[in-house]
Structure 1
Amino acid sequence: MARFIFVTGGVVSSLGKGLASASLGALLQARGFRVRLRKLDPYLNVDPGTMNPYEHGEVYVTDDGAETDLDLGHYERFTGVPSRRSDNVTTGRIYQTVISRERRGDYLGGTVQVIPHVTDAIKEFIVAGTEEADFVLVEIGGTVGDIESLPFLEAIRQLGQELREHAIFVHLTLVPYIAAAGELKTKPTQHSVKELRSIGIQPDILLCRCEKPLPASERRKIASFCNVRQEAVIPALDVSTIYEVPIRYHEEGFDDQVLRCFDIHDSPAPELSVWRGLVDATLKPEGEVTIAIVGKYMALQDAYKSLGEAIDHGGMANKVHVNVRWLEAEQFEGDGDPTQILEDVNGIIVPGGFGKRGAEGKIRVARFARERGVPFLGICFGMQMAVVEAARNLAGLEGASSTEFGPCEDPVVGLMTEWVRDNQVERRSGEDDLGGTMRLGAYACGLRAGSKVHEIYGSDEISERHRHRFEVNINYRETLERTGVLVSGLSPDGTLPEIIEIPDHPWYIGVQFHPELKSRPFDPHPLFRSFVTAAVHQSRLV
């Protein structure tokens, strides 16, 4: 039977529950255990797919086509275990499930209530499909005391009683440093645990986020007031890189305390040399390059979380530090000249996005990279704008654009109406709901022999994750290829352009999918590895 570890947070949000869960999963995995990680989100949206990136950050997409919380990206990058649709649920999905059952009459006319119906649905989600795991780590979003998370906390309280020795609770809290007093303050942690205990949950382990070392005297105070063992009060200090977190947690005894709670005493120590290698590669680079990311959600860099991580992975693979310059696409519109801002960068990435805002700026940046020979990677919307740029300035189609922005003379990018998934045709229209109606998840792509991407991947066929509603119009393929823009990747049925490249450019590639979602620190994505290599070469030419 799987053992369950419930991870809650207190005091303030953004303390790092996702990283803590991912790091613990990595440590348990390094000891030889099989792990699965799940996230319970308390908001009423069915999933984050329709949420503004400024509200929620990145939408992480799984192989099976689920739009999920960005913490699932941390889980995958730290453990290598592919996430599934069943690993993320929201209050909205739970209520949708319960109401659907009520409409079908599943409750036999009974009054539908939060307890037991909603909490039972949450418990079903938590335990489903966990038979093959030794440990299931379940992160509860939000902060203890939030009204939204109460059904989830009640559900895990009940599970704690039902599972008994097969469940423990880890609470992540804050021990702030008051500079004026020169002291760490434990009172917020005490109040947070008091709030948690008031709803029936006694934490077994406390993770204490702090920017200064936590003295033994303060650990004793926290242990005494919060009714936990002193050795189960684990300091979680700030670190230089997130890949140092598993190492520091192990040094503080986090994984040892977890195993002690489950009465496991014969587990071998984790092998962490690969993590130390990642830290060395990050903190001791042999050079540096500058990459510009030209997007439209720059006010919140979590909107491009996986992209930032994938770039770092490419840097580690090339033993260089990547200086990322985050730039708003709108500044390149109108009189905005890319030359002054981009002339010293070694590579340019135009990532995904939705809507017309910033589109013309992205088109100008794509042209700059093409004409100046700067390594360029266009992702999803970025690829589409690169195609629009080529159609206008190389093929002479001045009216080329995307139907996402309205009717146009030459729709080189248009709304997808049907595609094939698992030998089944899926259809969409412009009148469909926005949520969950895109081309989502992993799809195969055939690579053109002799192309740059064929060389990079070293394969005839690849599988990558998608999240888009518009596509490059296959009817313009011949027009583009006459200008030197090669369609080097196609869907298996040959109808959807997946990759474009310019063979006589040092490195110019656009992809319809999101390669950043499959990059791992131990296994950098081939496109990002190659892109950073090209940026290194470009830096030596400047």
Structure 2
Amino acid sequence: MARYIFVTGGVVSSLGKGLSSASLAYLLKSQGYKVRIRKMDPYLNVDPGTMSPFQHGEVFVTDDGAETDLDLGHYERFTNISSKKSDNITTGRIYSDVIKKERQGGYLGKTVQVIPHITDRIKEFIKKDITNEDFVICEIGGTVGDIESLPFVEAIRQFANEQGKSKTLFIHLTFVPFLKSSDEIKTKPTQHSVKELRSIGIQPDIIICRSQQSIPLDQKKKISLFCNVPIDNVIETVDVRTIYEAPISFYNQKLDKQVLKYFKIKSRKKPDLTPWKKITNITLNTKKSIDIAIIGKYVNLKDAYKSLDEALIHGGIANKVKVNLIRIESDKLKTNQIKDKLKNISGLLIPGGFGKRGTEGKIYAIKFARENKIPFLGICFGMQMATIEFARNELKIKKAGSSELDKNCFPVIGLIDEWNKNGKIIKGTDKKLGGTMRLGLYEARLRNNSAIKKIYKSSSINERHRHRYEVNNNLKNEFERKGLIFSGMSPDKNLPEIIELRNHPWFIGVQFHPEFKSRPLAPHPLFSSFIKAAKNHK
């Protein structure tokens, strides 16, 4: 029997609903329960695939090819449970589905309204694709009181009434500020947030209070009294030194214990927090550090490369080294600055991206890393830029470029028209940008005696993709004669998946996004190897 836990947020955004949900999921999973986590986003985009990272942060991609909210990355990294398309939905998708059904006559002439039609569709999402899960944790994006999230809040209110209190639990995450001028912790914002939630018809069962410092008992009692929540269900979450402390912190605060108590069930076994304590210790106490330069267009936004940042840290954990991320804006990087900006780095990474802005800065930096034997990792667009750089400077194709960026170039990179997935031909298009890319898990076959095969210790891998342009396979022989090896190919041998450079300590480009599959408790081998090479770089 599935039990549903709904996580809402109040006062301000970015309090850590995703991290709290992921930590709770880990604690429940480690006690022997099967858990599923879902995210409901209130924006009108059908998915975040066409949204600028400046607006929404990174787009996380699932095995089955969904472009989703970055919180699903938190879910996967903390629980090691792969998310699905059915685990993320937006207001845009909800309305799109309802309008499509209305156009097809599915409502039999009825007036289509927010209640019940939109809320019914939300409730369908909550229950969809649930089999034998013990707990389904649903995070509602945004902040209670926002007009955008009202249909979702109303839907979960209805859902709780229909399912009954024995199957549903409401957790509300709020901000408890400390005012330095008066030397006081203030509970009023939490009181008002809960008042707003109750005015919509939802009484929270547990309140998680985000604070910069520990909340005194008197203040907890005040929250308990005014918010109508038992004192034991007022859970504090003080800012942690690293996010890997979060499961430990919530366990110490007995969040999982209070959830199980609410549902009148017992823990099947004690959670194992040893791995989190181990990696927290490594993260906080490692003395040796290295500098990794990330050259991209969105480096000033913390969440734009969230999974990538985490994967690099995971690689540092695997090698017991602290990874300092040096963020460099590619469109402001000039040729005469390259040597000065990159002279002290231990490794260079060019991440994925779209569009022409900043590409020349990336190409200059790749040339510097190639010629100066600096460990280099190119991901998706980064691999494509490495291919263009090599074509220009080693194959002497001066107009080498990508047809995405310049229609008059020599197309080393071109739009993919179709591709093979499990024997089925899938057609690509550039007519509509949303959902038209090569998305999700695809196989790559690795070349014998290659560096990449030694890293993966396998001849076949499956990684997540998100792109619509590919390296031109027609130039494979020319590249390889000059030392750039196509060491990973699609099973049909049409699409280059991995490149690597001979006579270089560590120079690899991949068309896929390995960062999406890296976990703090299981660092991705590609990042572990990259950081190891950077650690050994002199």
Q: TM-score, length-normalised on structure 1?
A: 0.98
Structure 1 position 286, deviation (Å):
4.6
Structure 1 residue 288 corresponds to structure 2 residue 289: yes
CA distance in 1, matches of 2:305, 2:124: 32
State the Cα distance separating 1:189 from its structure 2 match: 0.1
Q: Per the alignment, in what secondary structure is the counterpart of residue 471 of structure 1?
A: strand
- Asked if the contact 1:294/1:350 (under 8 Å) is kept, the reply is yes
Structure 1, residues 485-538: CA drift from partner, whole Å, max 9, x if none? 000000000000000000210000000000000000111101000000001110
Is 1:14 aligned to residue 14 of structure 2?
Answer: yes
The equivalent of 1:485 in structure 2 is 484
How many angstroms does 1:22 deviate by?
0.3
After TM superposition, list the pairs within 5 Å mapping 1:94-493 onto structure 2: 94-164=94-164, 165-333=166-334, 335-430=335-430, 432-493=431-492
Aligned partner of 2:428: which letter? Answer: R
Residue of structure 2 in register with 1:497 after alignment:
496
Distance 1:378 1:434 in 2: 24
Equivalent residues of 1:451, 1:503 under 8 A apart: no
Indicate conservation of the 8 Å contact 2:403/2:409, yes or no.
no
Tell me the alpha carbon deviations over residues 317-342 of structure 1, each in whole angstroms, 9 at most, x when there is no partner. Answer: 00010011011112223x44210010
Code of the residue aligned with 2:395 in structure 1: it is A
Cα distance in 1 for residues equivalent to 2:360 and 2:285: 39
Q: Distance in 1 between matches of 2:10 and 2:27?
A: 23
Q: Distance in 2 between matches of 1:408 and 1:414?
A: 12
TM-superposed CA distance for 1:266, in Å, is 4.7
> Is 2:29–2:35's contact at 8 Å kept on the other side of the alignment?
yes
Deviations 1:84-124 (A, max 9, x none): 00000000000111111111111111111111111000000
Give the aligned residue type for 1:331.
K
Once residues 213 and 266 of structure 1 are traced to their aligned partners in structure 2, the CA distance between those partners, rounded to angstroms, is: 27
Q: Offset of 1:301 from its aligned partner? A: 2.0
C-alpha separation between the residues in 1 aligned to 2:268 and 2:187?
Answer: 33
Q: CA deviation at 1:285?
A: 1.3
Distance 1:218 1:148, change over 3 A: same
What is the distance in 1 between the residues matched to 2:421 and 2:440?
10
Partner letter of residue 85 of structure 1?
K
Q: How far apart in 2 are the matches of 1:336 and 1:23?
A: 46
What fraction of aligned residue pairs are identical, expressed as a percent?
58
Report the Cα distance in structure 2 between the residues aligned to 1:61 and 1:362, rounded to whole angstroms. 24
Whether contact under 8 Å (1:400, 1:408) holds in the other structure is: no
Runs of 5+ in structure 2 lacking a partner?
none
- Residues 13-47 of structure 1 deviation map (CA, whole Å, 9 limit, x = unaligned): 00000000000001101111110000000000000
Deviations along 1:145-176, one digit per CA (max 9) or x if unpaired, are 00000000000001111111100000000000
1:230-258 Cα offsets, whole Å, 9 max, x none, are: 01000010010001001011101111111
The answer to whether the Cα contact below 8 Å between 2:6 and 2:169 also exists between their aligned partners in 1 is yes
- Give the deviation of 1:456 after TM superposition: 0.3
Distance 1:281 1:106 in 2: 57
One-letter identity of the residue aligned with 2:95 = Y
- Give the aligned length: 537
Once residues 312 and 525 of structure 2 are traced to their aligned partners in structure 1, the CA distance between those partners, rounded to angstroms, is 11
| Contact 2:11/2:174 (8 A) holds in 1 | yes
Q: Quick one: which amino acid aligns to residue 535 of structure 2?
A: V
- Superposed displacement of residue 405, structure 1: 1.1
TM-superposed deviation, 1:270: 1.3
Secondary structure, in 3 states, of the residue corresponding to 1:15? Answer: coil
* Residues 1:508 and 2:507 are matched in the alignment: yes
Maintained 8 Å contact 2:8/2:173? yes
Distance 1:2 1:302 in 2: 32
Residue 500 of structure 1 aligns to which amino acid in structure 2?
I
Tell whether the 8 Å contact from 1:416 to 1:471 is kept in structure 2 after alignment: yes
CA contact (8 A) 1:452 1:503 kept: no
Contact 1:402 1:408 (C-alpha < 8 Å) held by counterparts: no
Q: Helix, strand or coil: the match of 1:467?
A: strand
Equivalent in the alignment of 2:78: 78
Counterpart of 1:367, as a letter, is K
**Are the equivalent residues in 1 in contact too, given 2:300–2:327 (CA < 8 A)?**
no
**CA separation in 1, counterparts of 2:495 and 2:209?**
50
- Aligned partners of 2:259 and 2:126: how far apart in 1? 19
Gaps of 5+ in 1: none
User: Which amino acid in 1 is paired with 2:385?
Assistant: M
In structure 2, distance between residues paired with 1:268 and 1:405: 55
In structure 1, distance between residues paired with 2:296 and 2:286: 27
- The one-letter code matched in structure 2 to 1:73 is G
Secondary structure of 2:483's partner? Answer: coil
